Amino acid sequence: MAQEIADRRDVDFVLHEQLGVESLSAHDEFAEFNRKTIDLIISEARNLSIKEILPTREIGDKEGVSFEKGEVTVPEAFHRAYELFKEGEWVAMTEDPEWGGQGMPRAVALAAGDYFNGANYAFMMYPGLTHGAAKLIEAFGTDEQKNLFLKKMFSGDWTGTMLLTEPEAGSDVGALTTTAVANDDGTYSISGNKIFISSGDHDLADNIIHPVLARIEGAPLGTKGISLFLVPKFWVNSDGSLGDFNDVVCTGLEEKMGIHGNATCSLTLGGKGQCRGFLLGEPNQGMRQMFLMMNEARLLVGSQALCCASSAYLYALNYARERVQGRHLLKMMEKTAPSVPIIQHPDVRRQLITMKALVEGMRSLLYYIGYLGDKTQIATDPVEQATYQGIVDVLIPIAKGYVSDRAYDVCNMGLQVYGGYGYIKDYPLEQLVRDCRITMIYEGTNGIQAMDLLGRKLGLNKGKPVMDLFGEVQKTIHMAKTVPDVENLATALEEAVNKLGEVAMHLGATAMSPEVMKAFAFAYPFMEVAGDVVMAWMLLWRATIAAQHLEKGAKKKDTAFYEGQIKSAEFFISALLPVTLGKMNAVLKTNGAAIDISEKSFGG
C-alpha cells in the first residue's frame, strides 16, 4: 500500500535534486536539518502514514462522523491515529520550538504532508486547521493569549478551526451578521450562526478554539468592520484550566459528497447568551488578519488535491500493469495472440503520462512555494524577502485553483483507467474522486482564485512580483538551452512564456477599462493558461536536471527515473502546451458573449 500514497523517489528528487533543501542547514534557523535529518523525517512520516493513518481512509469514508444528542463523534479508528500524530509532534512541524514546534523548513513539512494527506486528508484536516488557527494567535495574540493557547494547540491537545461562513455570507464575507458586544472584563459576548465549519466539533480533543469573524456593535458595514475573536468551546481560565461550556453548539452535520471522516458543522454561538470570546489583535482588522491564514490554508488545499492525484495515479499505474485485457494493437488481427496488460494500450499510456506529468509538476510547484517561504525566513535583506514573498503571493491562487482543477482531472483519469471497476466502491478511485472535488470549492472557489490572480496579484507592487516570477522561469529556460536533450523544449516554453506576458498585459489593461466585466469573464481561462506555463516550467526544470545526470552517467537504478522526467516534460510541452497557446489566443480576443447575453436568453 505504500506506493499508493506518494512516490518516495519523486519526493526525494524534488527536495534534494531540484530544490537542494539541505542547503538551508547552512543558516542558523535550520542548522540541524541536514540531508540525513530530512530523510529521517520523511521516512518517519511515511511509516506513520502507511501503518496507522492510511487504514483509516476507507473507515472514515464508510463510517463517517456521527451526531447524536448534541455530541459529535469521529470514527473510533481516528483516535489512535491522532494520538500517534500528537506523540510525533507533527502538528507544528514548522513552528518555533519555544511553543512546541519542530522548526523544520516548510518544504520539508510539505513533503511529510504529502504522506499524511495522501493517507487520509479528511483526518488530517483536524490537525491542519489547528495549526492554521494557532498561527493566527502567534501572529496577533497578546502574550497572555499565546501562553494560554499556543502550546496546547501546537501539541494537538486542543484543536482549532476557522469560522467565516454564514448562511447568507459565503464568499461575500463582508455580509456576515455575527455580532460582538464588549463586556466590562475585556471579553466580548458573541452571537451568531456559522455553517460549513470543517472540524467544527468532534471528540478528538478536550477543547476546540474557534477563530471567529464578527462585527463589534457600531463597526462599519462590509469587510472594513470585521474583527477577529478567539472563542473556545470550553472557556479557558487565566491559569490555563478549562472552565464552563462556552455556548458554542453544533446544530447539525452536513452530509457531503466526500471527506466523510471530517465533521462539517453548523454552529450556533451564544444561543443562550453565554458565549464569550477574546478579541484577537486590533478591532476591525479581522479580514486582514485572516489573510495571513489564507495563504497557508490555500497551499494546504493544493496539497490535499495533489495527494488525491498522487494516490490516483499510483493506483491507476499499478492497475494498468496488472489488468490483462485485449490483444496488443500491433497483433489485433492475430486471433491466437495473448491478451496483454492494459498499460500496453496507447490510450491508457496517454492517460498515464498525462497523470504522471501533472502530479510531478504539481509536487514541484507546491514544494517550491514552501521553499520560497523558507528563503524568506532566512533572508536578511528586506528587498530579497519581498521578492520571495511576492512570487509566493502570485503563485498561491495557482497552487490552490489550478492545482485542484488538474488534480481532479487526474483522479477522473485514474478512475477511467480502471474502467467499470473504478466506479464501484470495491476500489479506491471513486472515493478519491469524491474527496478531491471539494478542493476546487473551499478556501475560496477556484473562480475566486482566478479573480485574485487577475485583480490583485497581476498588479501587485506595480507588477514586480509577476516580472520576478517570469525572471525565474527564464533562468530555467537559459539553463535548459545548454542541455541538448531538452533544448527544443526550452525554446517551446520560451514561446509560451512570451505569449503569456502578452496575455497578462492585455487582460490587465482590459480590467482597468470600461470592459472590466469582459476581462473578469476570462479570469479563469487566464489562471488556466498561467498554470499550464508554470507546470511546463516545473517539468522543464526537472527534465534539465535529469538530462544533466544522464549526460554524466547516472547510476543504473536511477536511469529509468531520469528518462521518465524528460518524457514527462516532452509530453506536456509538445502535446499539451500547444493547446494552451490556443487558449491564450481566445483570451486575447476577450469575446463578450458571456457578458452581453441577457439573463432571459440563458433559458430555463
- All three cell numbers of 562, joined, read 531520469
443, 472, 494, 502: which one is catalytic? 443
* Of 127, 44, 120, 133, nearest in space to 83 by CA: 127
Question: Which residues lie below 8 Å from residue 411, measured CB to CB, with a gap of 6+?
Answer: 308, 309, 312, 429, 432, 433, 436
* Of 188, 190, 177, nearest in space to 225 by CA: 177
Distance separating alpha carbons of residues 105 and 598, to the nearest angstrom: 52
Distance separating alpha carbons of residues 490 and 479, to the nearest angstrom: 9
Distance separating alpha carbons of residues 131 and 159, to the nearest angstrom: 8
Kind and range of the H or E element at 333? Answer: none
Which CA distances in Å does 131 have to 95, 151, 249?
Answer: 9, 11, 22
Distance separating alpha carbons of residues 113 and 162, to the nearest angstrom: 20
Amino acid letter, residue 81: A
443 is known as an active-site residue: yes
Would you tell me how many other CB atoms lie within 10 Å of the CB of residue 577? 21
Distance separating alpha carbons of residues 458 and 464, to the nearest angstrom: 9
The alpha helices in 323-418, defined as continuous H runs, are 346-378, 382-397, 403-418
Q: How far apart are the first and last CA of the chain?
A: 48
DSSP string for 43-112:
HHHHHHIIIIITHHHHHHHHH--EEETTEEE--HHHHHHHHHHHHTT-TTTTS-GGGT-----HHHHHHH
DSSP string for 494-541:
HHHHHHHHHHHHHHHHHHTSTTHHHHHHTHHHHHHHHHHHHHHHHHHH
Distance separating alpha carbons of residues 529 and 174, to the nearest angstrom: 31
Handedness of CA 300, 302, 304, 306 (dihedral sign): negative
Which CA distances in Å does 168 have to 93, 165, 181, 398, 416?
Answer: 36, 8, 21, 28, 38
Question: Which residues lie below 8 Å from residue 115, measured CB to CB, with a gap of 6+?
Answer: 5, 6, 42, 45, 46, 48, 49, 50
Region of residue 180 (left: phi > 0; alpha: psi -120 to 50; beta: else): beta
Residue 309 C-alpha from the chain's centroid: 12
Distance separating alpha carbons of residues 198 and 162, to the nearest angstrom: 8
Residues annotated as catalytic are 443
